[in-house]
Chains A and B, each alone.
Chain A
């Protein structure tokens, strides 16, 4: 009786299980979403709840540290479903390409470091306990036994935990340079070696505790460093994963959406209005206007027709275009510029960080000091064992435990604060370089302005003319027309009925009003003369009205510039746009030094010239025309909306639409710089106090342990004052 259900149960379980397995094998999806605005417990639970209710979701989990949602599905689901669901509850989300992130390797490295840290921490605690017994007066056979037990714990633990230092030091020595890891490794190995030797002769001093605690403190610094960098790096990689990756191609009259990597030269590509060019191509069908502001900084739309060449990154504004792909992937002009920047980068004069400068002074100094005390004591006492002991003590006491923590502790604290403000630090030395800045150069289009256009003022016209203009503007999908329609309805201008409204892609809109043709669009088309600034023209009954536009300022731009000028920093604007729009923006922001009509080369040249005058330039820009300037500047910042090439070239990326997140960044980096210097001074102070004791031969393991722990703790506490 009971047999049937029992035997049936595994069977009925097995079927869905097998199905499950098949699902995971063939159809299951693993989706990564970037959700930048998640910040609290309520966000987490509402996002997870929303995602989990979608049919086919096995599990959705939010990682708040990385601002990311991971979704496991039982069947393939279009990412847009999730993005729309999140959008409805108020969280904008972007798809991430998991394969681009290279996440697992970084996680593994962090985990390995943490394991080493744990092993050295465990060993340190045990050895310290034994050492306390020795310090408080254990003698004879007891002390020997304690030393041997310490050796048993400390030697394998140190060799395992300090492996990264040995590997780095070996690499440096093979490259015939000295880095911080060389004296560290030497001190650790010498401490272990002499301690084993001393213990075997039942000597008094053994430095096992010093060797292992040195490893522990240095690993702590290394781990902090790794964590800060991996957060910044993963964020930067996330951004590159946001790039356009799909294109619509037309084959045998059928449109299909394919990954950009599958498009070949010669394929016919369809570009809808509002879409960004995924590759380089020539127009074979259609007319439109394109916005190339991100490439050149020009805000004026350009007319394209059959035969016009379009480059990757340009945005199609009005009519659908059919193009023949002329270059894809690595051959597109966009990718070529990225490569140029990479070349420029390798030629960039390398900035030496404070830590490296300290290491260059420090590493030889310590070795010479230790060697001298060895020679001196050997000549004086003719006792090899004692001389070796003292040399080891000098190396251990001067070992840069606090120096290893001095920089990472501060940068971790600062990067954490900047991350909360929405700034991602990509380069390890960016904070130090920011502290030196005395000149800030801004790009205009896309940086000081947000790329949207607004109507400046209405032309002198009758109410009827304005109403006609409103109706014409309403009929077009062109961004200028839409901005105009919005501005007019805000002014309370009503719409009027027009007949036979027709959009002419690339030119404008025409319609009939009371039997007469009215037009709105490009200057040439309506019979007006084009001017330097962006405008659209309306022609009614032979009369021409000009509607002038200006680009809309990014929020917080004025505050940021006022803040910089107050701090005594020289602010300049370099733009590829015409003189009229640039001078208007400069005047609105109170900037007197500006240049218009700049080419990418002249921007870079201007910055190089400023640097030659001994200035330290911070370049803030987003366009492709800024990349060379971003690379040649002392330090550079770009918005997250910038093109990939510009973000790659810059040291700091800021998220969000507003510029005021940059307020106080330079001041903050100056504080950080000060803390780093203080930390080095503190660490040196301990050395200055302890080294004479070591050279004089009075150093005991107790003094070494005290000096090491106290200096590390003071340095860390000093860094934490940043918060």
Chain B
């Protein structure tokens, strides 16, 4: 069972990565307009910020 010594920290670390990823999406306001984002993906226009000049 020694393998647990590695596996448990690894699993917690991976979970933590997921959590941080989620917090990042939250901070970068990706949940502000769920309906709009669902529609925008259908258009071929550049829709990222900042727009390239």
Could you tell me which A residues sit within 8 Å of B by CB distance? 40-42, 44-45, 59, 62-66, 107, 111, 114-115, 118-119, 122, 125-126, 129-130, 142, 145, 149, 153
Does B3 sit within 8 A of A, measured CB to CB? no
Interface residues of B in 24-53 (CB under 8 A from A): 26, 31-36, 39-40, 42-43, 45, 49
Q: List 22 A-B contacts (CB under 8 A).
A: A41-B39, A44-B40, A45-B43, A59-B49, A63-B36, A64-B36, A65-B33, A65-B34, A65-B36, A107-B32, A114-B26, A115-B23, A115-B26, A118-B19, A118-B26, A119-B19, A126-B11, A126-B15, A129-B11, A130-B8, A145-B4, A153-B12
Contacts of A149 in B (CB 8 A): 8
Tell whether A122 pairs with B18 under 8 Å between CB atoms, given A44-B36, A64-B36, A153-B12: yes
* Complex-state Cα separation, A130 to B8, whole angstroms: 9
* Complex-state Cα separation, A682 to B33, whole angstroms: 34
Contacts of A122 in B (CB 8 A): 15-16, 18-19, 22
Most buried by B among A118, A145, A149: A118
* Complex-state Cα separation, A346 to B34, whole angstroms: 37
Contacts of B39 in A (CB 8 A): 40-41, 44, 64
Nearest residue, chain B, Cβ from A142: B1
Contacts of A130 in B (CB 8 A): 8
* Complex-state Cα separation, A701 to B37, whole angstroms: 41
B26 touching A111, Cβ below 8 Å = yes
Contact size range, B? 20 to 34
B19 touching A64, Cβ below 8 Å = no
Apart from A65-B35, A66-B33, A115-B26, 12 more pairs, CB < 8 Å: A40-B39, A41-B42, A41-B43, A44-B36, A64-B36, A65-B33, A118-B26, A122-B15, A125-B15, A126-B11, A129-B11, A153-B12
* Complex-state Cα separation, A261 to B11, whole angstroms: 60
CB distance from A16 to the nearest CB of B (A): 13
* Dominant secondary structure of chain A at its interface with chain B: helix
* Complex-state Cα separation, A130 to B11, whole angstroms: 10
B36 touching A62, Cβ below 8 Å = yes
* Complex-state Cα separation, A580 to B33, whole angstroms: 50
Most buried by B among A44, A125, A129: A44
Nearest residue, chain A, Cβ from B17: A122
Nearest residue, chain A, Cβ from B9: A149
CB distance from A698 to the nearest CB of B (A): 29
Contacts of B15 in A (CB 8 A): 122, 125-126
A64 touching B18, Cβ below 8 Å = no
Contacts of A114 in B (CB 8 A): 26, 31
CB distance from B4 to the nearest CB of A (A): 8
A65 touching B19, Cβ below 8 Å = no
Tell whether A41 pairs with B40 under 8 Å between CB atoms, given A63-B33, A65-B33, A129-B11: yes
Contacts of A63 in B (CB 8 A): 32-33, 36
B42 touching A126, Cβ below 8 Å = no
* Complex-state Cα separation, A107 to B15, whole angstroms: 26
Nearest residue, chain B, Cβ from A145: B4
Contacts of A64 in B (CB 8 A): 33, 35-36, 39
Contacts of B43 in A (CB 8 A): 41-42, 44-45
Nearest residue, chain A, Cβ from B8: A149
CB distance from A249 to the nearest CB of B (A): 40
CB distance from B19 to the nearest CB of A (A): 4
CB distance from B49 to the nearest CB of A (A): 8
A118 touching B22, Cβ below 8 Å = yes
CB distance from B32 to the nearest CB of A (A): 7
Nearest residue, chain B, Cβ from A126: B15
CB distance from A70 to the nearest CB of B (A): 10
Contacts of A44 in B (CB 8 A): 36, 39-40, 43
CB distance from B18 to the nearest CB of A (A): 7
* Complex-state Cα separation, A130 to B12, whole angstroms: 11
* Complex-state Cα separation, A111 to B32, whole angstroms: 10
Contacts of A45 in B (CB 8 A): 43, 45
* Complex-state Cα separation, A107 to B18, whole angstroms: 23
* Complex-state Cα separation, A44 to B26, whole angstroms: 23
* Complex-state Cα separation, A118 to B24, whole angstroms: 11
Contacts of A153 in B (CB 8 A): 12
* Complex-state Cα separation, A107 to B32, whole angstroms: 9
* Complex-state Cα separation, A64 to B36, whole angstroms: 5
